[in-house]
């Protein structure tokens, strides 16, 4: 089956900032020779900014451009293929210290339950400077001799087609869960083959570490409560980072501090333990430490989601600090996978 990897007029590409709750960071990957495809930008465990893409989308010469439709251009370097049998590659986005690459990560570590109930989904890609979506439906959950690493999808509208240049596009469930990355298309049937994101996440863990020790430009402090384990809370924006906090007087409050002022439109994270006693969750922002926090906005808790998803959409507001407060009992809370929705 031929690969979907093509040419189009050169485009200024960009990086930055996911949407809550999907935290979608689909990027367009372009080669110096004009060939292009799609990819997913994320922050690795060590703070490195990377783009996951089908291996056949890697730009010629191992260097290219990647980004969203905002017009800001970023370099792609150092392609790494974690498994020679899988059509997947990771490329590094060199960013200076003090720059927030993206709040996006690689999604859930196990999608079995979500895939078992999946019917309708959407494929997200970048066409020139605009995000494009296409309604798709799951055709088969096992199309690789029972290995279960790839899925098969087809467009829901018979008039739609998977087109060249869509390789690397992300397939999202209706609730924003990252399901799979399109890697191949069968021209005879029009069926798209997609690599599961939990498989991508496992393979991405094989990537060699860099010198980055933490995610630049972001810090997290405890305002109310205490750490259940020794040490300061980690940057929960790092892939795989987790933290346990013990409420004080039935409340746990965390403040995420940004190095520069940004427009904040939301946050999301996962609670992996201690949610039974949670009565209320709210978020607020402020522009400076000596300013009062804004009126709190209620957050939602979905206990049915893997690890209990906490989602906090916020009215767009310029801020340097975001506070998350959880009203609960005395039970320790386990938090992970923080995602921020930010813009300039």
Q: What is the CATH number of domain 6-105?
A: 2.40.10.10
Question: Using one digit for the tens of pLDDT, what is the confidence trace for 104-120?
Answer: 778 777 888 888 888 88
Structure token digits, residue 4: 């979907």
Would strands 280-286 and 251-273 be described as parallel, antiparallel, or unpaired? unpaired
What integer pLDDT is reported at residue 187 of this predicted model? 83
Q: What is the pTM of this model?
A: 0.63
Q: Which residue has the tokens 């995610």?
A: 215
Q: What is the pLDDT of residue 23?
A: 42
51 CA to centre of own chain: 11
Q: Are 19 and 68 in contact (CB under 8 A)?
A: no
pLDDT at 53: 95
Q: Length of the chain in residues, anyone?
A: 344
Angle (CA) 237-238-243 rounded to 5° is 80
In terms of DSSP bridges, do strands 297-298 and 74-80 run parallel, antiparallel, or are they unpaired? Answer: unpaired
Q: Do domains 6-105 and 218-343 have the same CATH topology?
A: no
Taking CA atoms, 43 is separated from 128, 160, 285, 301, in Å, by: 24, 32, 23, 24
Nearest residue to 337 via CA among 105, 113, 111:
105
Q: For residues 54 and 110, is the Cβ–Cβ distance under 8 A?
A: no
| Lowest pLDDT segment from 14-18, 32-36, 55-59 | 14-18
Tell me: the pLDDT tens digits for 193-217? 999 999 999 999 888 765 443 444 5
Look up the CATH architecture of domain 218-343. Sandwich (2.60)
Residue spans of the domains in the chain: they are: 6-105, 112-202, 218-343
Indicate if the pLDDT at residue 96 is higher than 70: no
Report the topology of domain 112-202: Thrombin, subunit H (2.40.10)
């Amino acid at each position: 089956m031929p690969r979907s990897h093509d040419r189009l007029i050169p485009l200024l590409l960009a990086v930055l900032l996911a949407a809550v709750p999907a935290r979608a960071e689909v990027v367009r990957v372009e080669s110096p020779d004009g060939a292009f495809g799609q990819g997913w930008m994320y922050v690795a465990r060590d703070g490195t900014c990377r783009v996951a893409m089908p291996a056949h989308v890697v730009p010629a010469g191992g260097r290219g451009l990647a980004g969203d439709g905002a017009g800001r251009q970023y370099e792609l370097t150092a392609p790494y293929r974690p498994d020679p049998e899988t059509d997947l590659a990771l490329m590094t986005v060199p960013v200076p210290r003090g720059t927030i690459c993206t709040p996006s990560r690689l999604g859930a570590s196990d999608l079995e339950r979500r895939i078992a109930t999946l019917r309708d989904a959407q494929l997200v890609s970048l066409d020139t400077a605009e995000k494009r979506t296409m309604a798709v439906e799951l055709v088969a959950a096992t199309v690789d001799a029972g290995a279960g690493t790839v899925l098969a999808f087809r467009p829901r509208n018979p008039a739609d087609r998977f087109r060249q240049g869509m390789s690397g596009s992300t397939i999202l469930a209706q609730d924003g869960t990252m399901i799979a990355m399109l890697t191949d298309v069968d021209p005879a049937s029009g069926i798209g083959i997609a690599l599961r994101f939990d498989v991508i996440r496992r393979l991405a863990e094989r990537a060699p570490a860099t010198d980055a020790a933490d995610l630049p430009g972001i810090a997290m402090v405890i305002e109310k409560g205490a750490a259940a384990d020794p040490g300061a809370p980690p940057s929960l924006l790092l892939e795989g980072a987790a933290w346990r906090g013990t409420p004080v007087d039935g409340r746990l409050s965390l403040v995420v501090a940004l190095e520069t002022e940004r427009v904040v439109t939301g946050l999301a994270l996962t609670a992996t333990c201690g949610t039974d006693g949670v009565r209320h969750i709210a978020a607020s922002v402020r522009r400076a430490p000596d300013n009062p926090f804004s009126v709190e906005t209620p957050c939602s808790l979905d206990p049915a989601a893997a690890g209990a998803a906490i989602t906090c959409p916020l009215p767009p507001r310029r801020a340097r600090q975001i506070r998350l407060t959880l009203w609960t009992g005395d039970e320790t809370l386990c938090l992970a996978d923080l995602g921020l929705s930010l813009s300039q």
